[in-house]
Amino acid sequence: MTPVRPAARPHPEAPPPGLLPSLSPKLLFSSAVIKDPWSHFSTLQSCKDDPLLAEEHRGAEMSPKVPGAHSRGDYCAVQVAVRVRPLLPKELLRSHESCITVDSELQRITLGHDRHFYCDHLFEETCCQEDVYSASVQPLVDAFFQGFNATVFAYGQTGSGKTYTIGEANICKLDNIYFSVYIIPIHFWYLVFPGSRLKSFLLRLTSLFAASCCVTLVCLGSFLDEEQGIIPRAVADIFKLLDENDLTDFSVRVSYLEVYKEDFKDLLEVETASKDIHIREDKGNIVLCGVKECEVEGLDEVLSLLESGNTARHTGATQMNPNSSRSHTIFTVYMDQRRGSSRLYGSASSIGPQMLSSKFHFVDLAGSERILRTGNTGERLKESIQINSGLLALGNVIGALGDPKRKGSHIPYRDSKITRILKDSLGGNSKTLMIACISPSSSDFDESLNTLNYATRARNIQNRATVNCKREPDRVEGLEQQIKALRRALENRQRSETRIISHADPNKRPRLREGEMGRLQAQSAHYRMCTDTAYRLLQELLGEGTLTSEQSLRVNEWLCSVEEERSGLTTAS
């Protein structure tokens, strides 16, 4: 029977919501006219003649389809999805042409007339948020639940739809809007017009206005749901999987980190200084120290934290994007789950109790910018330089990992903080999806070409994703006790054999050997076999790296003593 989870509540550590609704004028305009702005823009675009459509089915040379990313044993290639945003209204007004042709069957995108690129998932202008999530991200959520690390990062030029796709934009709650249009005015009337007849009229008018607003908001509810990006959908599915599998012993935590001009900022604990946040490596895994992790119990708590973090994020207006992200952000979901006897992912054998610990990075990279086009000056210019520097470092890492000719060469992870954080995701222990967001406008040809080139290299990166399974501590202790008992029994048997032989009558020794030697040899062989089994088992445990430092020290001492005994027996024989 599925346990009943308590209703999700706003996170207690999140600041109170703003008094004004967080809907932007652009979103309000879109929601008042249509249900899906992407399909709306696509409809506007289809009214224009596209010279590339006539060439789509011509007998041009087609490059062979590059095989998709797949798993090879423990290795799995980085998956690449390409999403093409619609032409924007300002681009249509300026008569911009589309320079992109999409072939969904071949997963091929053509830039210009003869530049072909292949990907694992291709989403054209008419694809909605649900299409992107279900086809490319949902398999990663399933793997995350099985104990794998996962990463989704959006890459592309500024204004290409990265933040919209990841789901950090348009986080809006209906109760916040209701609070703004009903509760606040009522308190205002009570304060300004105490005991006045006018107050009664104003209260009635406010109630009618709020009721009409609520009807409108209910009608827009489905629109807001369809506009949800990757993060809200993924978190909802994570809690759904936990409920469906009757797991009661688990914890889910989230953190929200910003990298702004190579400085860290904890978006859930803004008072934390950048110098107090550090990147550490623990047994090959990247660990962020000093970042606040908030435990959550439902989607509403996560959205509350995400919304509060977005208010502290660095954004600004440029000539190319009125709400440009000026920093990289990493929203991470951590999950620890204790399971009983079950099967590991991809394994046919059943195992005992296990502790699975996995993390899911959702990375929204700042968009690449051409300084001449943005027209940035002053502080915005400094931001652009830092953004492009970090993206250049990321491109160098992708190039080094994705170039077969540079296999085994130095990978410049330490050139920037964002590449250090993504070390697990690129070439490490993670299942990774890169979403390349591009603009179809001919004015953005160079930026789209650059993004697609990086996406092509990223498909060649091989990660080694493994289930993050920790042995139960009590099981380790039990094995240690069993090994100690076997060792004591072996030592007692050896001392007993020595006493029997040393105190025996010399005249009876030959007869003793004839009667007892076979039995003693059989017992000795049995104890040696037990010792060898324990030796191999401890070597495996030591190799997995799941023991504490004290346990590792004791195991090493025991292994050394066994080696000494073996060498002594070899010398004696």
Residue 538 pLDDT greater than 70, yes or no: yes
pLDDT of residue 41: 39
Mean pLDDT of 112-123: 94
Q: Is residue 516 included in any domain, yes or no? A: yes
Of the residues 435, 470, 505, the one at which a domain ends: 470
Give the E-state strand segments of 201-343 in sequence order.
250-260, 263-266, 278-282, 285-289, 294-296, 315-316, 324-325, 328-339, 342-343
Q: What percent of the chain lies above the pLDDT cut of 70?
A: 64
Based on the domain organization, do 123 and 268 belong to the same domain?
yes
Q: State the Cα–Cα distance between residues 427 and 7, nearest whole angstrom.
A: 39
Q: Is residue 66 included in any domain, yes or no? A: no
Neighbours of 72 (CB within 10 A): 8
Going by pLDDT thresholds of 50, 70 and 90, the confidence category of residue 520 is confident
Rounded to the nearest angstrom, the gap between the alpha carbon of residue 75 and the centroid of all alpha carbons in its chain is: 18
Q: State the Cα–Cα distance between residues 406 and 413, nearest whole angstrom.
A: 15
Residue 190 pLDDT greater than 60, yes or no: no
> Residues within the annotated binding site for ATP?
156-163
Mean pLDDT of 162-177: 66
Based on the domain organization, do 192 and 133 belong to the same domain?
no
Neighbours of 28 (CB within 10 A): 12
For 385, the 3-state DSSP assignment is helix
Rg (CA), the chain: 31
Q: State the Cα–Cα distance between residues 321 and 36, nearest whole angstrom.
A: 20
For 287, the 3-state DSSP assignment is strand
Domain count, the chain: 3
For the chain, the average pLDDT equals 74
Rounded to the nearest angstrom, the gap between the alpha carbon of residue 17 and the centroid of all alpha carbons in its chain is: 27
pLDDT of residue 561: 75
Q: State the Cα–Cα distance between residues 138 and 150, nearest whole angstrom.
A: 11
The CATH number of the domain where 369 resides is what?
3.40.850.10
pLDDT of residue 503: 56
Q: State the Cα–Cα distance between residues 136 and 140, nearest whole angstrom.
A: 8
Based on the domain organization, do 210 and 249 belong to the same domain?
no
- If one compares 367 and 459, the residue with the highest pLDDT of the two is 459
Going by pLDDT thresholds of 50, 70 and 90, the confidence category of residue 120 is very high
Based on the domain organization, do 38 and 115 belong to the same domain?
no
What's the DSSP call for residue 523? H
Q: State the Cα–Cα distance between residues 382 and 402, nearest whole angstrom.
A: 30
Q: State the Cα–Cα distance between residues 58 and 103, nearest whole angstrom.
A: 13
Based on the domain organization, do 158 and 26 belong to the same domain?
no
Q: Is residue 308 within 8 Å of 168, Cβ to Cβ?
A: no
Q: State the Cα–Cα distance between residues 335 and 8, nearest whole angstrom.
A: 17
Going by pLDDT thresholds of 50, 70 and 90, the confidence category of residue 530 is confident
Q: State the Cα–Cα distance between residues 232 and 225, nearest whole angstrom.
A: 9
Based on the domain organization, do 356 and 460 belong to the same domain?
yes
Q: What percent of the chain lies above the pLDDT cut of 90?
A: 35
Q: Is residue 264 included in any domain, yes or no? A: yes
Q: Is residue 54 included in any domain, yes or no? A: no
Q: Is residue 121 included in any domain, yes or no? A: yes
Residues contacting 392, CB < 8 A, separation 6+ = none
Q: Is residue 21 included in any domain, yes or no? A: yes
Residue 33 pLDDT greater than 60, yes or no: no
Q: At what angle do helices 445-458 and 378-402 cross, to 10 degrees?
A: 40
> Residues within the annotated binding site?
156-163
Based on the domain organization, do 537 and 458 belong to the same domain?
no
pLDDT of residue 185: 52
Residues contacting 238, CB < 8 A, separation 6+ = 141, 144, 145, 252, 333, 335, 360
Rounded to the nearest angstrom, the gap between the alpha carbon of residue 250 and the centroid of all alpha carbons in its chain is: 18
Based on the domain organization, do 414 and 283 belong to the same domain?
yes
Based on the domain organization, do 389 and 519 belong to the same domain?
no
Neighbours of 558 (CB within 10 A): 18
How far from each other are the two terminal CA atoms of the chain, in whole angstroms? 63
Q: Is residue 57 included in any domain, yes or no? A: no
Residue 49 pLDDT greater than 80, yes or no: no
Q: Is residue 528 included in any domain, yes or no? A: yes
Based on the domain organization, do 413 and 438 belong to the same domain?
yes
pLDDT of residue 334: 97
pLDDT of residue 573: 53
Of the residues 438, 470, 502, the one at which a domain ends: 470
Using a 10 angstrom Cβ sphere, with 0-12 exposed, 13-18 middle and 19 or more buried, the burial of residue 247 is middle
Q: Is residue 439 within 8 Å of 159, Cβ to Cβ?
A: yes
pLDDT of residue 268: 94
Q: Is residue 251 within 8 Å of 356, Cβ to Cβ?
A: no
Of the residues 420, 455, 470, the one at which a domain ends: 470
Range of the domain at 542: 473-572
Based on the domain organization, do 539 and 551 belong to the same domain?
yes
Q: State the Cα–Cα distance between residues 222 and 227, nearest whole angstrom.
A: 9
pLDDT of residue 40: 40
Based on the domain organization, do 451 and 480 belong to the same domain?
no
Q: Which of 81-95, 215-229, 297-311, 478-492 has the lowest mean pLDDT?
A: 215-229
Number of separate helices (H) and strands (E) present in the chain: 18, 22
Q: Is residue 155 within 8 Å of 365, Cβ to Cβ?
A: yes
Using a 10 angstrom Cβ sphere, with 0-12 exposed, 13-18 middle and 19 or more buried, the burial of residue 356 is buried
